[in-house]
Structure 1
């Protein structure tokens, strides 16, 4: 289809029907030609070329914490580069919960496997941001202390101590 045909369609359309903020349906021209509907069909066809390997979770099929933990442990075991590691961390920390220590162990081992020290330090920053109080953060630190020492991961508090006031 030539660009002049698109301009003709845009010029003929009523402004009130062509520029609706009603979603993709309003952007699809109202003619019977099937070529116009292709972009709208592609947009609603699904995520065939999605970057994520994580399956879509629907609200009608709630995921339990154990399923969440198993899914992200598996995701972190399959990490091959920094992009996948950071994407999986963003996905894991996007939920309204703190990931279990086993998920964090898998994430820390994945960070070591892809040789990404800054992300390993930021995992602990993410834990600190997600927990409700300092006591919970200390429990996570205590649980992960042997692995942290084994991998040589420092905390941000150790690297950049707060100045005394």
Structure 2
């Protein structure tokens, strides 16, 4: 009995919604599902570089921008990476800098052998200036407690 009453109320509500939707002008019902960006690559780079170069950036904002960058289908330009590393230095967050470098390496994907050495070459002076080690220099590229595979011997 209760199920029948709920179904009846649902049907009445659905028909009343459909009746009011037919009276709404088409302009209001139309929804744009995509936003076409007109931002060029240079403007994108300048926006993120300026964001990381802000003097009042805090740890949450730096992490948010790094997370946004890691979610995009791109490898950040060296100037963005340098600005992010300098922001990490201003925040005195060495771990965030190393994690960001790990993320950049991961973003290189299948072309890691080509792209990552180029990026390291471009950001090396900044790494030396700030005293930041790469994940490879810290040994983070190899598993810490991995067992030797007996079948490889």
Say whether the fold is shared (TM-score over 0.5): yes
Match of 2:76 among 89, 94, 99: 99
Please tell me whether residue 150 in structure 1 is matched to residue 129 in structure 2.
yes
Superposition deviation, residue 16 in structure 1 = 8.0
What is residue 22 of structure 2 aligned with on the other side? none
- Cα offset, 1:15, TM superposition: 8.4
1:64 aligned residue: 40
CA RMSD in angstroms, aligned pairs only: 2.8
TM (normalized to structure 2)? 0.66
2:50 matched to 1:74?
yes
After TM superposition, the runs of 4+ consecutive aligned structure 1 residues lying more than 6 A away are: none
Whole-angstrom distance in 2 between the partners of 1:83 and 1:133: 28
| Secondary structure of 2:36's aligned partner | coil
Q: Tell me, which stretches of 5 or more residues in structure 2 are unaligned?
A: 18-33, 149-153
Contact 1:77 1:106 in 2 (8 A): yes
Partner residue, 2:66: 89
**Given the alignment, which residue of 110, 117, 120 partners 1:141?**
120
Structure 1: gaps spanning 5 or more residues: 1-11, 19-25, 31-57
Larger Rg: 2
Is the contact between residue 81 and residue 114 of structure 1 (CA under 8 Å) also seen in structure 2? yes
Number of aligned residues:
118
Does 2:117 correspond to 1:123?
no
